Amino acid sequence: MPYLTSTPAGTQSTDIRAGFGVPGLAHPLLAPAEWAELARPGAPLHWVVLDVADGPGARPDPQCLEAAGRLRNAGVRVLGRLDTGFALRAQGDVRGDAQRYLDWYRVDGFLLRRCPAGRAELPVLRRTVDALRGLSEDAHIVLGHGIHPYAGYAEIADQMVTFAGAWNDYRWSQAAEWTAEHPPERFCHFVHGVPRPHLEEALRVARWHGAATIYFTDRTDRGGRADPWETMPGFWDEIVSRIGTGVSE
């Protein structure tokens, strides 16, 4: 299976490069400039999530087909966004959405949102991930927990989102001890509300916590009334420069 290779506990990989995982811009009709920017060469993109309509939608979307094609032509991995419903959603429904993503948009893998984090739910999610790999053996699987899950989840995925939330919480957060047994390329952090003057501090936190895939933005959720990931951060050029030149490492 195409899991990322782990390094022994207490050691560090020598070829780790930080980069971006873009968790889901607005539809290309609403954010054409953002999608065009992602297809330009230069940004160290690990992957970009395609969310057509809370999933793949009911039929192929021409604008999304074009956006996904541009990214693939630029060598960027495209992931379909799947909702697991905290492992309560029927596996057949998740599998159906995944098949549509593969058939229509030729995605390279999936970001599973609303993933459970407890030990009891691991067997259910394992079956879901196995079903997805049955559809596409080389699929890149990212589990969107948003918090540190039970350590066993690391056995079934390529990457895990172990933080997704506000800067005020992130700057005081702590990494779970078990994460030290895996290299940084296994972990993703999504942080909103990062003030531009604190960008370097945020990058240091990601490095200390051992997360190589990040998405930091100065956009906020406005008290839960907005999706901070739908538009690109105001400091996009600056953070691309920092990551691209290795300043963050």
Chunked mean pLDDT (size 10), the chain, 249 residues: 33 60 96 95 95 96 97 96 96 97 98 97 97 97 98 98 98 97 97 97 97 97 90 96 66
Q: Which CATH number characterizes residue 73's domain? A: 3.20.20.80
Does 227 reside within a domain? yes
Stated pTM of the model: 0.91
4: in domain: no
Spatial CB neighbours of 108, under 8 Å, sequence gap ≥ 6: 47, 72, 77, 78, 79, 138, 139, 140
Question: What's the token pair of residue 101?
Answer: 């993503």
Contact predicate 144/161, CB 8 Å? yes
Q: Are 98 and 82 in contact (CB under 8 A)?
A: yes
Stated as kind and residue range, the H or E segment containing 169 is: helix 167-170
Number of folded domains that form the chain: 1
- Tell how far CA 199 is from the center of its chain: 19
pLDDT at 14: 34
- Beta partners for residue 49, in sequence order: 79
Domain-embedded: residue 65? yes
| Residue 216 domain flag | yes
Q: Which residue range forms the structural domain that includes residue 237?
A: 19-244
In a domain, 5, yes or no: no
* Residue 195 domain flag: yes
Query: Is residue 13 one of the residues assigned to a domain?
Result: no
Residue 10 lies in a domain: no
What is the pLDDT, as a whole number, of residue 224?
Answer: 84
Confidence (pLDDT) at 88: 95
81, 113 Cβ separation under 8 angstroms: yes
Return all residues near 50 (Cβ < 8 A) that are at least 6 apart: 24, 64, 67, 68, 78, 79, 80, 81, 101, 105, 107
